[in-house]
């Protein structure tokens, strides 16, 4: 029997909580309660594939691209490396040189990269223009190192603008790299390396899928 020793490891929920009563119009999650044949409750849901924490597959950008059901299960979990940005003023556009300094000593083929903006001033501003942004060149650097998934929350940008973001997606998704967006609670991560898992809902044809994302990391000595 396998078990995780929670005296040595801690679980961190990295999933964004969706509140149907407070969703913006462009990301709706509407519930309508009804009944099944046995008079038990059920809910009809109106939403789309990019609400809450979600995994994007190549089908998101490429006609005929693979959806998440085309990937083996181990594509959705594994060793993760934290790309932390403590000073967003020095990371307005993150390229290969920044990545080399930040995670070059850790990154291995098959890793997952989770990007975190920990710049207090940047976060307090609430201005996306002040958040760190990856460049297309960063996409090439990550692809060459064989990552399998790239993750961000809402305080990190996949490109400084739409064109750069599209280029980054094209570069990585053409190599089969998955994206996970709308992560949450990244401030709770305490280690540069950890185990990450996000299992998508198993639906064919969808470009993306909702998921529950977690991290499992070693407890720091003396920490709760």
For 196-218, the pLDDT digits (tens) are 999 999 999 888 999 999 999 99
Q: Would you list the domain boundaries of the chain?
A: 9-16+52-218, 20-48
DSSP H or E stretch at residue 178: strand 178-183
pTM for this predicted structure = 0.93
Contacts of 99 (CB under 8 A, 6+ apart): 83, 138, 141, 142
> What CA–CA distance (Å, rounded) separates 152 from 135?
14
Task: Collapse the DSSP code of 151 into the 3-class scheme (helix H, G, I; strand E, B; otherwise coil) and give the result.
Answer: strand
Residue-wise pLDDT tens digits, 100-116: 999 999 999 999 999 99
The fold of 9-16+52-218 is Glucose Oxidase; domain 1 (3.50.30)
């Amino acid at each position: 029997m396998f078990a995780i020793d929670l005296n040595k490891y801690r679980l961190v929920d990295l999933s964004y909580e969706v509140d149907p009563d407070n969703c913006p119009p462009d990301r709706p999650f509407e519930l309508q309660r009804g009944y099944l044949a046995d008079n038990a409750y059920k809910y009809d849901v109106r939403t789309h594939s990019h609400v809450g924490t979600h995994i994007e597959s190549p089908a998101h950008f490429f006609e005929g691209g693979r959806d998440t059901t085309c990937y083996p299960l181990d594509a959705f979990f594994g060793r993760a490396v934290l790309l932390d940005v403590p000073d967003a003023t020095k990371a307005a556009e993150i390229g290969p040189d920044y990545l080399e300094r930040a995670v070059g000593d850790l990154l291995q083929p098959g890793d997952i990269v989770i990007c975190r903006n920990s710049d207090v001033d940047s976060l307090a501003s609430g201005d996306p223009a002040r958040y760190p942004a990856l460049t297309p060149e960063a996409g090439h650097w990550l692809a060459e190192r064989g990552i399998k998934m790239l993750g961000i929350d809402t305080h990190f940008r996949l490109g400084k603008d739409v064109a750069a973001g599209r280029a980054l997606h094209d570069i990585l998704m053409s190599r089969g790299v998955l994206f996970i967006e709308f992560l949450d609670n990244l401030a709770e991560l305490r280690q540069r390396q950890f185990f990450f898992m996000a299992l998508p809902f198993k639906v064919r044809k969808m470009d993306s899928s909702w998921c529950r994302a977690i991290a499992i990391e070693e407890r720091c000595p003396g920490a709760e």
